[in-house]
Amino acid sequence: MDNIKKVGIFIMLFVTLLIGMSLFGTLSDSVYDATNLHESVNETIAISLSTGQLAQDDVSAITNFNNITDDFTVNIGTAVNVTKAGLVTIDNTTILTNFSTTYNVTYNFESDEYVAHSTSRVLVRLINIFFALAIMAAAVFAMYAMGITELFKGNK
């Protein structure tokens, strides 16, 4: 009867570890999305009357505009501006060369899952650690219930 109990505990441990480890990857992906900015590379936008709308909102910064230059001081913030809502405005008098109706824009944005508050992002990162500790605690408890400590006692 005691061996049947140990087999049941072993099966419970195996299933718990299997489910826990499969959920760990999903949890890690969710934590990554909640704590990191995303980047949209070379998104083509149409400019009409010096304004255009990006596909994403919650834009934090434009890093490249029209693939002309990576000099942030010349184009970004002076001739090209962006709002948090993704509205791009350009100064026609500043950008006289290569002025067209479509531009390629590379920018960083906050995804829908992004946690805006920095303290909350730190706490969200702790979720992975506590989940791993819970899986380990379940494994240690199950091994203790199976009598693993008897192996360490030795013969006296």
Report the percentage of the chain scoring pLDDT > 70. 83
Decide if pLDDT at 5 tops 50. yes
In tens, the pLDDT along 80-119 reads 778 888 888 877 655 545 556 777 888 899 888 888 888 8
Cα distance between residue 85 and residue 53, in whole Å:
9
Between CA 97 and CA 101, with CA 99 as vertex, the angle to 5 degrees is 165
Higher pLDDT, 43 or 152: 43
Which residues does residue 51 pair with via DSSP β-bridges, in sequence order? 48, 89
Cα distance between residue 76 and residue 63, in whole Å:
8
Extents of the domains making up the chain: 2-35+116-153, 38-109
Rounded to two decimals, the pTM is 0.64
